[in-house]
Amino acid sequence: MKLTILGLLLCLNFSQGAFASDDVLGPFPAVGSTEEKQDIETLLYYQQTRTPEQCAVAQAEANNGSLETFFGGNHGLLSAAELSKVKSQLRWVTVKTGAKILYYKTKFDRIRPYITHPEVKPCIDLESSKSYPSGHTALARVYGRILSVVFPERAILFMKRADEVAMNRIIGGVHHPSDIVAGKKLGDAIAEDYLQDNYSFNQLQSISN
């Protein structure tokens, strides 16, 4: 996931902010623990059952984790006009979300599953960033939660699509399932923080008017 220089600078400030505590994310399962073994078993199951078509979708999302990829284009949940308007309003939250994801990945420093367990064979490009939490999952969750407020009649579809993005990170073999759980928790926390801000909420309301 690409971050702007501004996002990287913001990341430095989160070490002393509300999101720097372990109240949002607890530690990931230790190597060799029962939970970690379950992670690997799940990855190997999807490795054996995934299809080339599923891998192709997961690869497309890996190449470009963005509002357009997640909720526009072929998925059709947002029209071109809606996408343009929403993207403009969410530019700042996208930067802040990326910075928070980077902060937590650096903080927890979890190794990717295919490195600790060579039997895990991803069907998409390998990642250079750390594993916990899943950034694609967190970003898709933030977008899904916010879009559900702007277009409440499509809320179920937005959250279903966010879950698909998360699942594709497991199908692709680049994330432990526990990374996905953490990504959802982080995405929910970031979205809630954004939605509780009166100015941000009022800006959202202007999108659907």
Domain-embedded: residue 21:
no
Q: What is the pLDDT of residues 150-207, one digit of tens each?
A: 999 999 999 999 999 999 999 999 999 999 999 999 999 999 988 887 666 666 666 6
Domain-embedded: residue 15:
no
Which has the higher per-residue pLDDT, 11 or 136?
A: 136
Domain-embedded: residue 80:
yes
- In the predicted model, what is the mean pLDDT of residues 67-93? 87
Domain-embedded: residue 131:
yes
Domain-embedded: residue 20:
no
Domain-embedded: residue 164:
yes
* pLDDT (0 to 100) of residue 92: 85
> Distance of CA 75 to CAs 64, 71, 137, 158, Å?
14, 6, 17, 10
- In the predicted model, what is the mean pLDDT of residues 135-147? 96
Domain-embedded: residue 14:
no
Q: Could you tell me the CATH number of the domain that includes residue 163?
A: 1.20.144.10
Q: Which residue type occupies 55?
A: C
Q: What is the pLDDT of residues 65-79, one digit of tens each?
A: 899 999 987 767 999
Query: What is the number of structural domains in the chain?
Result: 1
Contact criterion met (CB below 8 Å) for 138 and 183 = yes
* pLDDT (0 to 100) of residue 209: 62
Q: What is the largest CA-CA distance in the chain?
A: 53
Distance of CA 132 to the CA centre of its chain: 11
* pLDDT (0 to 100) of residue 18: 46
Q: What is the pLDDT of residues 94-125, one digit of tens each?
A: 998 999 999 999 999 999 999 999 999 999 99
Domain-embedded: residue 2:
no
Full residue range of the structural domain in which residue 126 is found = 32-208
* pLDDT (0 to 100) of residue 41: 98
Distance CA 207, CA 166 (A): 26
Q: What is the pLDDT of residues 2-43, one digit of tens each?
A: 444 444 444 444 444 444 444 689 999 999 999 999 999 999
* pLDDT (0 to 100) of residue 205: 65
